[in-house]
A and B are shown apart, each in its own frame.
Chain A
Amino acid sequence: MTDTSLADAPGTTTAQRPFLVVDDLRVHFPTDDGLVKSVDGLSFELRRGEILGIVGESGSGKSVTAQAILGLHKGSKAQVSGRILLDEQDLVPLSENDMRGVRGDEVSMIFQDPLSSLHPFYSIGNQISEAYLVHNKVGKKAAKQRTIEMLQKVGIPNAAGRYDDYPHQFSGGMRQRAMIAMALICQPKLLIADEPTTALDVTVQAQILELIKELRDELNSAVIIITHDLGVVAETCDQVVVMYGGQCVEKGTVDELFDRPEMPYTWGLLGSMPRMDRVRQERLTPIPGSPPSLINVPKGCVFNPRCRFSDRVEGRRCFTEHPDLLETTGSTDPRVRHQVRCHIPPAERQEILLTEIRPTL
């Protein structure tokens, strides 16, 4: 996908320079039971026009990452460290007040459940135009005009007539469209969609993803899609970060990750995904066990309690030594960066993938 983004805008620096750089991000929550390390040393980069998927189970730190980028942890007890560079400006040290100017304007977010994310007492139009008014010095009339325009753009029929409708009068898909209109009304350069399709049925899901892609093309925004649905990732994303236990365990381009996954957790995720394009297997293969406690993170590799392959590593290193996120040697294209956090030697990983994993997928 790096090829296309280079081809898209030849010569312009913005296309090559990462627009968002997350560097060693840590979000820790002190609680009575101990320090919850929701995100622990996450790094990734994103260019404008690209879509990054962050995948992982519930509690892997996906949403916490998104909220950290938006600075929503400010004012809470959370301890955020590391750097979040948005267009070379670090957002982590910004005050709540300075961050407010960024939120909704340069970076905006689509939330998972549009019904609970919209205020039940205010009309859709009021809520969307509010987002526009706060960042633009315009009158209410202009804001209304702009809101109706946005509602039309996201495919709400009779947008002007529905301006004064309340969230409960919208269907689920329409509400999510309204949320998208709200998120995009200030033409953000970075859009974060936190499980945007989880609450929606499959046909609407496809429409919503299509809409996000269209708007990405139109605004040339960078997009982060947070999901646990690998189908969504395969359909929309350019880059993927696989998160587990608050850490990135594997990342790379979408083709690379689906063709040559190397981390046992990614194998597990792919194995538990229903495939329409393959002959149906007997059953899907779930990953045994459950996600780790973020207070007592397992020693060594976070995934070791659930990993089927930890016995293939010499000297129990999986249980004693925390693996680094390293470049794989498998890819032939030097521009495809594919990193894996695993102790299994690369050659053996590819061997396991070919002989044991691929046939079961």
Chain B
Amino acid sequence: MIRFIVSRLIGMVLVLIVVSLVTFLIFQAVPLLAKSSPVYYYIGKAPATPELLKTLTHRFGFDQPLPAQYWSYLAGFFGKSITDGTSAPVQCDFPCFGYSFRRNELVSTLIVQALPVTISLCIGAAILWLVGGLLVGTLSGLKPGSFTDRAGMTGALAAVSLPIFFTGPVLLLVFVYTLGWLPDNGGYVDITVNPAQWFLSLLLPWVCLAFLFAALYARLTRSNVLETMGEDYIRTARAKGLDRRTIVVKHGLRAALTPIVTIFGIDIGSLIGTTIITEQVFNLRGLGTLSIQAISSLDLPVMLGVTVVAAFALVVANFIVDLLYAVIDPRVTV
């Protein structure tokens, strides 16, 4: 087990190094190839004079060879001092994603502000879609062709086909602006401030985001349950004289839901990317909104930071899933 964990941790670090290399190449090397300068994207505007451009290019190290730049980019994660030459230098501690000159803020500060929103959104939505998707999928899979099955799968098809930028405004219109059941508080309220408000402010975003995933999970669960219930070991379980509940829950679902753990790990890891639209629709200032703003204002340090954080989330989620899988399936040796 310990060997497994250590080897997976080493693998994680390797993946992160690859991610950092790719982001470095895209964001710092590509502008050079395009005969432009990363400086524009670093400070978010064109320097006033060619001399200033030259000074800044030197100060940020863009005049050094690419490997040396990559090295200082990597080393920068562990902390560095940043200055634009006019104001006092800013100390950036590990994990350092650099400094946004557009916003005059450390990128890590921006991320730390945005992260609770995105995490709240992701976890709540994940719980909703897991419960909903697995429930509908299991009920459908146990009685294929029944009314429940047809209704569930039709609903799933509809949910998959409806984009968040459609369902989101519709839900807002109905529940906030027409029925007035939910407060129009204009965005996220932190859980530490007011848990009830936090819950209400996220309810619609959760439902919206969960809807999409729940539909996929319902279909996946249905086919897994359907397949598993036809397995020989289910027949064995019946032949032993077990009751229906034990057969379905202990023997059926245990096997049917195992592959879903894998998918879930990947989905929850990549969710940060998926939340962009939801955050936009519901005016939540999470990582999605942060990256949209960074892209539209060419704020390179923020883009880099969000990318690395998203990659990290994905890698960690996969690591946890691998661990879980080894616990669930005895055939997987660790």
Contacts and interface: CB of A to CB of B under 8 A. Distances in A.
B255 interface: yes
Q: Is the interface of B mostly helix, strand, loop or mixed?
A: helix
Given A117-B236, A118-B233, A168 B241 contact: no
B224 to A, nearest CB: 14
A108 interface: yes
B329 A105 contact: no
B59 interface: no
Contacts of A120: 233, 255, 329-331
A67 B328 CA distance: 31
Contact of B254 (A105, A108, A113, A121): A121
Contacts of B233: 116-120
A182 interface: yes
B243 interface: yes
A168 B329 CA distance: 11
A121 B329 contact: yes
A109 B239 CA distance: 7
A103 B239 contact: yes
Interface string B218-258: 00000000000001110111111111101000010011001
B235 A111 contact: yes
Contact of A116 (B232, B238, B239, B240): B232
Interface residues of B, number: 22
Contacts of B240: 103-104, 108, 130-131, 134, 182
Interface in B173-231: 231
A131 B166 CA distance: 53
Contact of A119 (B241, B243, B244, B255): B255
Contacts of B330: 120-121, 123, 166, 168
A100 B239 contact: no
A222 interface: no
Interface string B299-334: 000000000000000000000000000001111000
Nearest to B242: A134
A104 B241 contact: yes
A108 B246 CA distance: 18
Contact of B331 (A103, A113, A168, A179): A168
A70 B236 CA distance: 11
Nearest to A186: B241
A72 B236 contact: no
Interface string A143-170: 0000000000000000000000010100
A117 B237 CA distance: 9
17 contacts: A72-B239, A100-B241, A100-B242, A101-B241, A104-B241, A108-B239, A111-B232, A111-B235, A111-B239, A116-B231, A116-B233, A117-B232, A117-B236, A121-B328, A134-B240, A135-B241, A179-B236
Given A119-B251, A121-B254, 11 more contacts: A105-B241, A108-B239, A111-B236, A111-B239, A116-B232, A117-B233, A119-B254, A120-B233, A134-B242, A166-B330, A168-B330
A-B complex: 7 closest residue pairs judged by Cβ atoms: A104-B241, A103-B241, A116-B232, A104-B240, A131-B240, A119-B233, A117-B232
